[in-house]
Structure 1
Amino acid sequence: MTPHHVLVAYGTTNGSTAQIAETVAETLSAHGVTAEARSARSVPDVTPYDAVIVGGGLYANRWHKDARRFVRRQRDALAARPVWLFSSGPLDSSAAERDIPPVPGVRRAMTDVHAKEHVTFGGCLEEGARGLTARLILRNRKGGDFRDFPAIQAWAAGLAKEITAERAG
């Protein structure tokens, strides 16, 4: 199967992972790959898509529940097509400074669906975020926006080249 219609599914609580997913989809589209970003919770079936990218925010060293559930629910269909995973979460510059390995649950998901790659991007936690833990982090002045959109766009552009090459091959 040659990839040409790509889903970027995401699990997010406060919207910052959704913004990353939308950036990935927009970048893919700008490079000639038809892509759409959708909440993982809203996708009943991945069979209309030729490739899938799944992203989730990290909370207490766990991938967002919607991303985890999506991968579990779609495991067989995902394993039959190219899949890439991303996480967003570190509330510091560590993701920009070095490759951060996937948390254990994401590592399992990678194995289950034969994912081609995983990358971790910096996260974002700003005033107004939902959840007790988020409020505690913000109260301790540990929040902020650590997303690196040029790095996200570069990663997505690389995926577009890979997808385009697979299509041509």
Structure 2
Amino acid sequence: MNIIECDIPGPLVIEPKVFGDDRGFFMESWNAEGFAKAGLDLTFVQDNHSRSQKGVLRGMHFQNPGPQGKLVRVVRGAVFDAVVDLRRSSPTFGKWTGVTLSAENKRMFWVPEGFAHGFLTLEDDTDFLYKCTTPYAPQNEGSLAWDDPTVGIEWPLDGITPLLSGKDAAGIPLDQVKTFP
């Protein structure tokens, strides 16, 4: 696999080896030994799957306490995936980075603990999968405002208004978020 560092230390774009022919393709989306050799010695405790229509924005979610690391990918459709560094001691605190994930490019995105995470669906019927290092704990969940101007995520909205859940519409600004050390 090919691992690409982002402009913020921690998140990684992962390009798996894909073997294809006229019948289709094969790829390993997770191999504990292979990832550990690449420096990602991870234990996952929960897998999640969401399906969304074009224009749905989910995020920017985090858990504190009980932060989750997430290995995310798209198996149908496409998303613009974004993370925001919530580690107060980090030189990149409050900065964001993003990547397009699609069924076509087969890229994965490693979201380490201490980051808010969200995505915007770019196609209808997008299936988004994520492996988590810590179980979901709704009592510890927070939601950073997806449109906080101090963070300035450049969502590829192309003039549309994103579809948000009530929780995501009520996201709070960075200066009110319970951050990480």
Same-fold call, TM cutoff 0.5:
no
| Richer in strand (by share) | 2
TM-score, structure 2 length as denominator? 0.30
Higher helix share: 1
Higher relative contact order (CA 8 A, sep 6+): 2
